[in-house]
Structure 1
Amino acid sequence: MNSTTEKTPQSGKKHFWNKKPRKELTVDDITIVDKDLLKRAVGAAALGNAMEWFDFGVYSYLAVTIGKVFFPGSNPAAQLIATFGAFAAAFLVRPIGGLVFGPLGDRIGRQKVLAITMIMMSIGTFCIGLIPSYESIGIMAPILLLVARLVQGFSTGGEYGGAATFIAEYSTDNRRGFMGSWLEFGTLGGYLLGAGLVTGLTAALPTETMLSWGWRIPFFIAAPLGLFGLYIRLKLEETPAFQKHMEKQDELEHSKPRLGLWQMLYKYRAQMLKCIGLVLLFNVSNYMLTSYMPSYLTGILGLSELSGLMLVMVVMFVMMPLTLFWGHWNDRLGRRPVIWLGAIGLIVLAVPCLMLIGTGNLLWVFVGLMVLGMLHTCFSGSMPATLPALFSTEIRYSALAIGFNISVSLFGGTTPLLTTWLVEKTHNLMMPAYYLMVAGLIGVITVFTTRETARKPLRGSAPAVGSEAEARNLIQKLRLRRQREQREQQAENNDTVLP
């Protein structure tokens, strides 16, 4: 005879009637997002990222020219390495910027820090256009270029983490992926604007004129763009999630001390490692395509400068709507499947793409670049929503800024430099493909350890919806779910008792 009896709480079985009742959610507990404020927040954040990538587009497309202006007397490959060395140097100070601006953003607010980073980015970019050439002031020219790049790097240390946090905390739970994808839409738009301006100048001006003063024009445009972006950001309100967090902090000021930097890094070390792995995947493919490929096509494959620039620009243009496409679908399919698709695609298709690019035939070069661009949009459409969701509200800006910039500095910004060096040393034109494959493998492993966050509230934040009607529907769904769980628990406990 079966002697199964009902387990008591002491025996380890918790009955639903012994559980502490959960507080019933009300409309006041749910964040209702103002749609107009959301659009302004997304636009302001995307504009700042566009400003950052306007500079990257200009610098990448002028890499050969900048090498001749600031590093004369060397062979073209050495000039390119020196130019990308100055490019990479800015990334070495990005973690320092993240260490400064991240905690500041968690303490005084996202909006204020994003205004500061906008000012510094504009000043750094504008100053590059003012630096005399090597022929005019000798060794001071590359030194001043390095200083300006360091200012840019320090400021961008607080830019992406803040912008992604800003959009994520303003967005509704069901549309966070799509809204976040506008951040990368701004990235591509800014890059395309910078690249398009350089391409237009290259086509319109003689080579001697470009070397003399034409290259300075794109950097001077940074000043009015920066002032406009600053105006937009100063008109914004703080995010609802941060406002609620600060209200709680005021109530708990004496009972809950703020985590120190090292305490935070230790406590959230698992999330930090996931952030670094995801950003590695995201940025290696990004900088390989946007920063390295224009110079690879012209300096290594020998394509005409105008042809190389135009090919990458067309790819960037197609990537813009694709980024929004994946932003929409990762809200429905989930972040993990979309990122997995891109990572596995890199592992499988990187070598075929580089073989197509290596033919030098413009059609096949375009096909190879387009496939790489399409794979990258899986990341650009998903990461702005995935990365902020790794961390809770009180440390989101700090942790994301630090983790993002450590990864970008070590693996993203150094991609053009390391890839150029590897090709130069090994004479193997497939090195970019192998680099992408390693990034894809790391991405697959990282995504496997990351939980799905689509259509869920951010850590430490209340659910966010777009209207009061949605809030009431959410409450009703949660109530029905709770009732179903209670019935299932009741049935489970009844099954443990024999008649």
Structure 2
Amino acid sequence: MHNKDDAEDQRISPQARKVLVAAGIGHFIEWYDVGTYGLLATFLAANFFVSDNPTAALLATFAVSAVGFVLRPLGGLFFGPLGDRIGRQRTLVIVVLLTSGSTFAMGVLPTYDSVGVLAPVLLVIARMLQGFGAGGETSNAVALLFEHSPRTRRGYMTSWMDGIGFVASVVGSALALVLINVLGDGAMTDWGWRIPFLLALPLGLVGLYLRLQLTDSPEFREMEAVGEVAQSPTKEAFRTGYKPMLILCGVLLLKAIGHWALVSFLPSFLSGDLGFSTSDAFTTTTVAIGVTALAVPVMGALSDRVGRKPMLIAGSAGIVVVSWPAFYLMSLGNIAAAIAAMLLLGLMIAVFDGALSAMMAEQFPARIRSGAMAIPYNLVVSAFGGTVPYVATWLVSSTGSKLAPSFYVMLLAAVTLGFVVAAIRETAPRRTQVAPAQHAEPIRQP
């Protein structure tokens, strides 16, 4: 039987649920914003880049996507430590304004036919602003939710951030599917592509309102009350947390390539290289990512029971095993096989992602938690996540093999598996009783 303290340790308070909704809607907006760009890549290519070669235009569009990711590390370096200095809630208010505003701007940009080369220049600027803001979203949202959650439910609660990210991709995919079927490719290319970007404004206003209603986490408010808020969190993070930050760089390789391959590269891969209709490609994406989104919180809850490390090992090893078969199934040109292939990949990613956010937060004390997570997260996402569509498209084009991207995915998943096995220690409270961040040596003020 569980005693009263055990029950209290597992009870999710109304305040924690409120934080989940408010953090979640902002997280939804970030991933909706970022995912929308990848989902509409072929339409953006037709409007912003003039080329006789459709592959070249698509590569240019993906290159602009990668440019946005270049600003993510700077955004993480700015907004992550800012969350440690002024609070997670205040920082998240700024972030939601920046990400939603820059995405809305994409929807009102003039096209190449209207202003020539100025059009892609403006697209690059909007994409860079979006990337800068997105650099502060994940670490602050995870830190806020982690610090509001019961100790033994943190895997479940924080995993909702990853699940919500996939939900946002599903919504973007489903919206694109509806627009394509209702408007047709012609109208979608002419003006319909703007609609998903324009919706970022009302979404952003809802997120802003909800985040303004929040209080900061109990841990941060306690640090404020006793004057222990880090004055130089970036310096502290590099001085005291550099080892787990380096380890996270290796672990996050799979997060970067897995998420962005699923939501940004594979939809255009299906409709371009594999010859699926646009409708079939979006249908496949919507079904597969929808199931993945539902699976992530289940895997997060499981990580609270069996531990973070077993889940991380199972997910990364699973990706190594299923990547080639999944790409082979997609290459058959059958929609049922394509859905099965994406489900294979998606479910393995869900196993990994379910444990990831809590594991990251458990590596660091509250003083430096947001910044110490943001720096490795955004460096890896920028270098590998943002370039996934470009690298994968280039691999197919240069090798002539539609299976070539699978080997790239397998390689990075294998590297992640090595880091997890060799360097990650168990941090789930039910397994260790005390999380590392709670029994670590006190960090002295500089």
One fold, TM greater than 0.5?
Answer: yes
Counterpart of 1:143 in structure 2 is 121
Per-residue CA deviation, residues 336-372 of structure 1 (Å, 9 max, x unaligned), is 1111111111111211111111111112111111100
Report if the CA contact (8 A) 2:39-2:263 is conserved.
no
- Please, which of 338, 349, 365 is the counterpart of residue 322 of structure 2? 349
- Please, which of 168, 174, 177 is the counterpart of residue 196 of structure 1? 174
C-alpha displacement at 1:192, in angstroms? 1.1
Per-residue CA deviation, residues 72-107 of structure 1 (Å, 9 max, x unaligned), is 223111111111111111110101111111121111
Counterpart of 1:166 in structure 2 is 144
2-structure distance, mates of 1:230, 1:260 = 26
Unmatched runs of 5 consecutive residues or more in structure 2: 440-446
- Please, which of 28, 50, 57 is the counterpart of residue 35 of structure 2? 57
2-structure distance, mates of 1:265, 1:437 = 30
Report if the CA contact (8 A) 1:335-1:452 is conserved.
yes
- Please, which of 408, 421, 445 is the counterpart of residue 418 of structure 2? 445
**Which aligned pairs between 1:63-462 and structure 2 lie closer than 5 A?**
63-248=41-226, 250=227, 258-259=231-232, 261-262=234-235, 264-448=237-421, 449-455=423-429, 456-461=433-438
Per-residue CA deviation, residues 369-427 of structure 1 (Å, 9 max, x unaligned), is 11001101012211121111111111111111111100101111111111111211121
Q: What secondary structure sits across from 2:325 in the alignment?
A: helix
Report if the CA contact (8 A) 2:27-2:137 is conserved.
yes
Report if the CA contact (8 A) 1:288-1:432 is conserved.
no
Q: What secondary structure sits across from 2:333 in the alignment?
A: coil
Report if the CA contact (8 A) 1:171-1:179 is conserved.
yes
Report if the CA contact (8 A) 1:393-1:459 is conserved.
no
Report if the CA contact (8 A) 2:59-2:393 is conserved.
yes
Per-residue CA deviation, residues 188-219 of structure 1 (Å, 9 max, x unaligned), is 11111111111100010032211221111111
2-structure distance, mates of 1:258, 1:105 = 11
Cα distance change, pair 162–104 in 1 and its aligned pair in 2 (3 A):
same
Which structure is higher in helix share?
2
Counterpart of 2:19 in structure 1 is 41
Report if the CA contact (8 A) 1:345-1:375 is conserved.
yes
Report if the CA contact (8 A) 1:67-1:83 is conserved.
yes
TM-score, normalised to structure 2's length? Answer: 0.92
Report if the CA contact (8 A) 1:33-1:170 is conserved.
no
Cα distance change, pair 405–445 in 1 and its aligned pair in 2 (3 A):
same
Amino acid across the alignment from 2:53: N
Cα distance change, pair 57–460 in 1 and its aligned pair in 2 (3 A):
closer
Report if the CA contact (8 A) 2:143-2:370 is conserved.
yes
1-structure distance, mates of 2:315, 2:404 = 19
2-structure distance, mates of 1:117, 1:33 = 30
2-structure distance, mates of 1:191, 1:425 = 29
Q: What secondary structure sits across from 2:110 in the alignment?
A: coil
Counterpart of 1:21 in structure 2 is none
Cα distance change, pair 339–34 in 1 and its aligned pair in 2 (3 A):
closer
Per-residue CA deviation, residues 278-299 of structure 1 (Å, 9 max, x unaligned), is 2211121111111100010011
2-structure distance, mates of 1:460, 1:275 = 15
Report if the CA contact (8 A) 2:10-2:152 is conserved.
no
> Aligned pairs, how many?
430
Report if the CA contact (8 A) 1:423-1:431 is conserved.
yes
2-structure distance, mates of 1:458, 1:236 = 26
C-alpha displacement at 1:444, in angstroms? 1.1
Report if the CA contact (8 A) 1:31-1:240 is conserved.
no
Report if the CA contact (8 A) 2:85-2:231 is conserved.
no
Report if the CA contact (8 A) 1:358-1:429 is conserved.
yes
Indicate the larger mover: 452-461 or 87-96: 452-461
Runs of 4+ aligned structure 1 residues displaced above 6 Å come to: 30-34
1-structure distance, mates of 2:261, 2:196 = 22
C-alpha displacement at 1:461, in angstroms? 4.4
2-structure distance, mates of 1:168, 1:298 = 39
Report if the CA contact (8 A) 2:10-2:153 is conserved.
no
1-structure distance, mates of 2:94, 2:273 = 39
Amino acid across the alignment from 2:286: M
Indicate the larger mover: 137-146 or 312-321: 312-321
C-alpha displacement at 1:457, in angstroms? 4.8
Larger radius of gyration between Structure 1 and Structure 2 = 1
Counterpart of 1:16 in structure 2 is none
Cα distance change, pair 96–33 in 1 and its aligned pair in 2 (3 A):
farther
C-alpha displacement at 1:323, in angstroms? 0.9
Report if the CA contact (8 A) 2:296-2:351 is conserved.
yes
Q: What secondary structure sits across from 2:193 in the alignment?
A: helix
Per-residue CA deviation, residues 141-180 of structure 1 (Å, 9 max, x unaligned), is 0000000000100000100111111111111111001111
Report if the CA contact (8 A) 1:105-1:112 is conserved.
yes
1-structure distance, mates of 2:212, 2:434 = 27
Q: Work out which structure has the larger RCO, using CA pairs closer than 8 Å and 6 or more positions apart in sequence.
A: 1
Amino acid across the alignment from 1:143: V
TM-score, normalised to structure 1's length? Answer: 0.83
Q: What secondary structure sits across from 1:381 in the alignment?
A: helix
C-alpha displacement at 1:182, in angstroms? 1.2
1-structure distance, mates of 2:69, 2:267 = 20
